[in-house]
Amino acid sequence: MYHELVPKILWLDVVEIQLVSASGMGISSESVSPVAGFLEIILGITIILFRKSVVPVYIAAVSLFFLLLYAGISRPETLIGAFNPVTTNILGLGFCYLILYSNRSENP
């Protein structure tokens, strides 16, 4: 949730601006990024509060996968920088897997 609050809501990061601009949809990153950040924070809170439900975890996993794919297609140079989508999204996908695995272990 930190990666949503800080670079999307509190201090809009240049990479966020570039990724939104690369969409070609003609929408401003100043409006889209905070909304996306807010929705992603809500998703994170939902995962924490509804630990027994796997639906928000699957939503997060699919989102992380497609956002990584989008970053790779639209701005491939972002994949090699510090704290890039590869490291953050793969880590997030790993956490999704661990949550799903631990849920499966608790509810055979």
- Give the domain ranges of the chain: 2-106
Q: What phi and psi values does residue 44 have, to the nearest 5 degrees?
A: -60, -45
Is residue 54 within 8 A of residue 21, CB to CB? The reply is no
Half-sphere exposure of 4 (CA within 13 A, CB side): 18
Least-confidence region, from 13-27, 32-46, 79-93: 13-27
pLDDT tens profile 28-82? 888 888 999 999 999 999 999 998 899 999 999 999 999 999 989 988 888 887 7
